[in-house]
Chain A
Amino acid sequence: MAEFLPSGIQLAYLTAVGLFILGLKRMSSPATARQGNILGAVGMLLAVGATLLDQHILNYTYLAVGLAIGSALGVWIAYGVAMTDMPQMVGFLNGLGGLASSLVAVGEYWRLTHSGTDIPIVVGISILLSVLIGNVTFTGSMVAFAKLQGILPGTPIKFVGQQWVNGALLVGFVLGSGWLLFQPDLWIFLTINLIALVVGILLVVPIGGGDMPVVISLLNSFSGLAGSAAGFVVMNNILIVAGALVGASGLILTQIMCKAMNRSLLNVLFSGFGSVTAEGAATEQSQGTVRQIDAEEAAMIMGYARSVVIVPGYGMAVAQAQHAVRELAEALEKLGVDVKYAIHPVAGRMPGHMNVLLAEANVPYSQLYDMEDINPQFPYVDVALVIGANDVVNPSARTAKDSPIYGMPILEVDRAKHTIVIKRGMNKGFAGVENELFFKERTMMLFGNAKETVMALTNALKELQG
């Protein structure tokens, strides 16, 4: 029996890997996504169950306690979080994954050095990689979490010589690693850990809120790679495969997000977007007058339109206005108006952020349109209603070559017959550029908090119904 157990465990791992792959595959279609997620969870349960049968496990008490505490916290967080807070939730969980991978490597390092055996160079390299990626994922994700949660300012934080500091840290990491491979030393090992933690912080600190979709995706990819690296440390295939799958999926999302902003990953990570725009903004002032309207006028225009396209942005998420928006759409539909939603791929703070919020508010998907599908329709749209979005609808992305957002694909709301923009004030968007949309002849500004303004619009529409 004892001889069959190890291969039994391996077979269980193989099955679990199969379930992960099937699960991820099913996550790519709305109809099967929920089932896919459950398959993934079953795979994980199977893998954990099989591991507990391993004969190398010598002490069950800590495991039981750890699993119980972790599960309780997991359930509490998962059911307690508001949908608008989903980006920071994902960031936080990501960070924990990175932390776990790195701790596995540190624990293994300590065990090996104290068992008196030499650490094979291959294992040494795996441990160091796992520490680097795991720690960077951990602190990077926690900084992203703090920025999204508002604990740290969402604007880029930069200081002079930041690149040099980063470079020096990396050189330190490589040198220390080289030393450790030949001469194990606890203090150098701890220093290296510290360096990796600081690198994670410095990597994310200079990145502003609007670039978060890219960073969150990239950290997601890292958390997978960290798991893979930990797999190389304990030489376990299931960690390697599952980590690689997640690494790949995170990378794909990162690519999609970068493409949606027409910027390269390096540019996102190192340009500190939005921090150096003072000159650009100064030259772009006095572009004309802004036409301001109130909720009643806006309701009149929309109520008598044939088609309205709603363009939500981060402002809608901040104001938690998704339910109010749905009610507005329903009021419009009662008046016979055709309502659609146009979703920019990087609207919000994480990939698919707007979709999740609108789903929470019960907006049918058939009404949600991607950028490529809706853009050709804008010239035939009577009213484009922009709610808390800014840079993703800025027409200077098409025309102004010197603009930092030049070349970014945008939702072409300025081509609609009328554009109504709900905004708190004339503040610039995340990119720090003036939005020429606001000064166009066909644009009307409706100032106010997204939720209150949308509710006022809905009430005004209801009066139209009489």
Chain B
Amino acid sequence: MEGLISALFVFVLASFAGFEIINKVPPTLHTPLMSGSNAISGISLIGALLVASSTENLTLATILGFIAVIAATVNVVGGFLVTDRMLEMFKKKEG
């Protein structure tokens, strides 16, 4: 129970931090912000890694975990790269 309470603390504080950090993003950056934060939401990859390797032999849990690892990795890698591709275009005309 204590673990849950401190996890809730972390969740609430992180949400407030998120609101503060992201407020006032100019419209030009809305798409990159969305795809970049989308890549961060692929953080469930960490959970997927833990579930996929929770036993040595193949079980339903590890199979589901394995699929989750693939899905989350596509989310993370695709998300960061495509955001970088976009931001590169934004940058090149400044010079």
A contact set with B: CB distance below 8 Å? 20-21, 23-25, 27-31, 33-34, 36-38, 40-41, 43-44, 47-48, 51-52, 54, 56-60, 62-63, 65-67, 69-71, 73-75, 77-79, 81, 83, 86, 89-90, 93-94, 96-97, 99-101, 103-104, 106-108, 110-111, 114, 122, 216-217, 220, 223-224, 226-228, 230-253, 256, 343, 345, 350-353, 355-356, 359-360, 362-365, 368, 370
Q: List 28 A-B contacts (CB under 8 A).
A: A20-B40, A25-B21, A27-B29, A28-B24, A37-B80, A40-B80, A51-B49, A59-B52, A62-B53, A62-B65, A62-B69, A70-B69, A90-B31, A93-B75, A100-B68, A111-B61, A226-B41, A227-B43, A228-B11, A234-B47, A235-B3, A244-B18, A248-B15, A248-B19, A252-B23, A350-B30, A356-B32, A365-B28
- Give the contacting residue for B14; candidates A65, A93, A241; CB below 8 A: A241
Interface string of B62-84 (1 = CB under 8 A from A): 10111111111111111111111
Q: Which residues of A contact B14 (CB under 8 A)?
A: 240-241, 244-245, 248
Chain B binding surface, main DSSP class: helix
Question: Which residue of A is nearest B62, CB measured?
Answer: A62
Contact between A47 and B44, CB atoms less than 8 A apart: no
Contact status A241-B10, CB under 8 Å: yes
Contacts of A38 on B, CB cut-off 8 Å? 84
- Give Cα A331 to B47, complex, Å: 54
Interface centre among A52, A75, A96, A230 (most CB of B within 10 A): A96
- Chain B residue nearest in CB terms to A257: B30
Asked, given contacts A59-B55, A220-B37, whether A240 binds B22 with beta carbons under 8 Å apart, the answer is: no
Pair A97/B75 contact, Cβ less than 8 Å = yes
Report yes or no: A27 in contact with B66, Cβ–Cβ below 8 A: no
CA distance A23 to B64 in the complex (A): 31
List the A residue with the shortest CB-CB distance to B51: A107
Assess whether B52 is in contact with A63, with CB atoms less than 8 Å apart. yes
